[in-house]
Structure 1
Amino acid sequence: MFKQSVGELATRPHIVAADATVTQAADVMTREGVSCLAAVRGARVVGFLTETALIRHLDVDLDPDTSIQEYLSRPTGGIPRDMAVQEAVRVMLDRRERHLPVMDLGGSLLGLVTEKELVDALAVDFMVENAVCSDLMRTDALVLAPERPVRDALALMRSKSADCVLVVAEGRPKGIFSERDATSKIMGRPERLPEPIADHMTGPVISVPLEAMVYKVIQFMRQKGVRRVAVVAADGTLAGLLSQREILAYARRMG
């Protein structure tokens, strides 16, 4: 496996004030295109806020004016900057997290490494592996019809601990509703919860064929700025879903 350390991949986290509201934090996530924020009080990082933490409560008990403090994960469990990529993959999967804080030699926060950085770093390894999408994809992706309400999508994502739902009509993927869609389009707008998911999905969904080489899909995902793609059969019907998480899980077996 290509040898690289997480210190080479870590990016400076986007920050939000620890006393910000969930709506203010969601605005930052949307503007910056990120799924994790470092909450700061003064110059000190007091926790991390993820899209997942917000979306799990969005249609249940999340007041848009609520402080983010009760949804923060504490800044513990950092990884050293010299940790190899393959070890970071193992740690991320074991913890079931999408972001890992990277610490410098003095124990201070250097930055974050996310699924995206790890997947990008693995592109060369997948070029050697010759894996195709059908080897990695999950076939149990969550699907809903376009007319189903947003509330149903959020409830399904919460019950299955999923970060997206594919919107499918006549067996073909028409769009995707993800945590990013919920953060940018639904947060602070409870009147949209009963509206059809088709009104707020991202579409058309980016699709790749079953036989697509994974290293090319990684490059394609990077180019398009997406975390997941629908995998389709020759007739255009949905065959599965390939996300950064499945790529990392396969890479762990490779290592």
Structure 2
Amino acid sequence: MNKSIAELMTKNVIQVSPQTTIAKCAEIMSQFRISSLIISDNDLPIGILTERDLVRLFSQSVSLEKAVAEFMSASLVTVLVDTYSRDACHLFVVHGIRHLVVVDESGRLAGIVTETDFRRNAGVEEFIGLRTVASIMDTSVLLLPPDTLVANAARMMNSRRVSCAVVVDDLVPIGIVTERDMVGLYRHQVGVAMIRDIMSSPVATITQELLVVDAVQRMQKDVIRHLVVVNSQGETVAVVAEQRPKPATKKRCLEPYSIPFLI
């Protein structure tokens, strides 16, 4: 069903001013467990700060006392509230974004839509069919030993532009560190700790033979955004995650539901 974007969006969006410190932004995102903050001026959205942005700032040792205006993404992609969800999903793919700002006719903030909103509400099963995890998993997973420093993990996640790092012992996953984890670690300046001390464990794992629809349902049930794919020996081979869509190709433009809420 091609719903209106107003049916999928989050309406009560947390906003901050351009003068808000990075520390305060990280605190708000950690407190409310949100993946982005809208920076606005009199309800007019002028920028966005995401978990990935904070991982980048953490990796660059940017002071938490800096104002968000200096580091926010100002090139917002916006849609009107009456935009159809299929058209909105097309914008996710074309622009390679994970957050879409919804505005009213006067340009004021009305809501925000994320990949998660699509996955939970857009009836993805009809688009997935009988595809298996093997068809959508990311094999370029970042694997780290447990004695990696948090600051170094942040740098590698930023340089590889990945949403998580899997902590392994002889390729067997023993923990995971995500962008959301990094927001809190940056806020508390825990760069010198080892990731074995802060990783989430145990790890949620699946096999590549599993149907994608089952993987999606697993993420919904466990309220997680990453699943580690393992082989018959229990070794890490890939990750399935809600992540940034790849740049659009002609085929993807014609099939707008093929990416944003599947990987």
TM-score range, shorter chain: 0.7 to 0.9
Contact 1:126 1:215 survives alignment (8 Å): no
1:254 positional shift: 4.8
TM-score, normalization by structure 2: 0.85
Secondary structure of 1:57's aligned partner: helix
1:42 positional shift: 4.5
CA RMSD of aligned residues (A): 2.5
Q: 1:71 to 1:111 in 2, by over 3 A?
A: same
What is the aligned partner in structure 2 of residue 185 from structure 1? 185
Spell out structure 1 runs of 4+ moving beyond 6 A.
Answer: 246-251
Q: 1:81 to 1:182 in 2, by over 3 A?
A: same
What is the aligned partner in structure 2 of residue 3 from structure 1? 2
Q: Provide the C-alpha distance between the structure 2 equivalents of 1:76 and 1:237, rounded to a whole number of angstroms.
A: 40
Secondary structure of 1:221's aligned partner: helix
Contact 1:229 1:242 survives alignment (8 Å): yes
Structure 2 residues not aligned, in runs of 5+? none
From the two aligned structures, give the one with the greater helix fraction: 1
Contact 2:49 2:73 survives alignment (8 Å): yes
What is the aligned partner in structure 2 of residue 172 from structure 1? 172
Q: Which moved more, 1:140-149 or 1:53-62?
A: 53-62
TM-score, normalization by structure 1: 0.88
Secondary structure of 1:24's aligned partner: helix
Contact 1:172 1:237 survives alignment (8 Å): yes
Q: Provide the C-alpha distance between the structure 2 equivalents of 1:245 and 1:83, rounded to a whole number of angstroms.
A: 23
What is the aligned partner in structure 2 of residue 125 from structure 1? 126
1:101 positional shift: 0.7
Q: Provide the C-alpha distance between the structure 1 equivalents of 2:258 and 2:157, rounded to a whole number of angstroms.
A: 29
Deviation readout 1:222-245 (Å, 9 max, x if unpaired): 222222211122332112111123
Contact 2:176 2:199 survives alignment (8 Å): yes
Deviation readout 1:11-46 (Å, 9 max, x if unpaired): 122222332211111111011110111123444433
- Matched to 1:101, the amino acid is V
Pairs within 5 Å for 1:212-231: 212-231=210-229
Deviation readout 1:172-226 (Å, 9 max, x if unpaired): 111111111111123241xx32321111222222212222221222122122222
Q: Provide the C-alpha distance between the structure 1 equivalents of 2:7 and 2:119, rounded to a whole number of angstroms.
A: 14
Q: Provide the C-alpha distance between the structure 2 equivalents of 1:41 and 1:26, rounded to a whole number of angstroms.
A: 19
Deviation readout 1:78-118 (Å, 9 max, x if unpaired): 12333333332331122121101122344432211101012
Contact 1:59 1:193 survives alignment (8 Å): no
Q: Provide the C-alpha distance between the structure 1 equivalents of 2:204 and 2:133, rounded to a whole number of angstroms.
A: 14
Q: Provide the C-alpha distance between the structure 2 equivalents of 1:235 and 1:25, rounded to a whole number of angstroms.
A: 42
Q: 1:56 to 1:146 in 2, by over 3 A?
A: same
Query: What percentage of residue pairs aligned between the two structures are identical?
Result: 26
Q: 1:104 to 1:227 in 2, by over 3 A?
A: same
- Matched to 1:124, the amino acid is E
Q: Provide the C-alpha distance between the structure 2 equivalents of 1:153 and 1:247, rounded to a whole number of angstroms.
A: 22
Q: Provide the C-alpha distance between the structure 2 equivalents of 1:86 and 1:150, rounded to a whole number of angstroms.
A: 39
Structure 1 residues not aligned, in runs of 5+? none
- Matched to 2:118, the amino acid is L
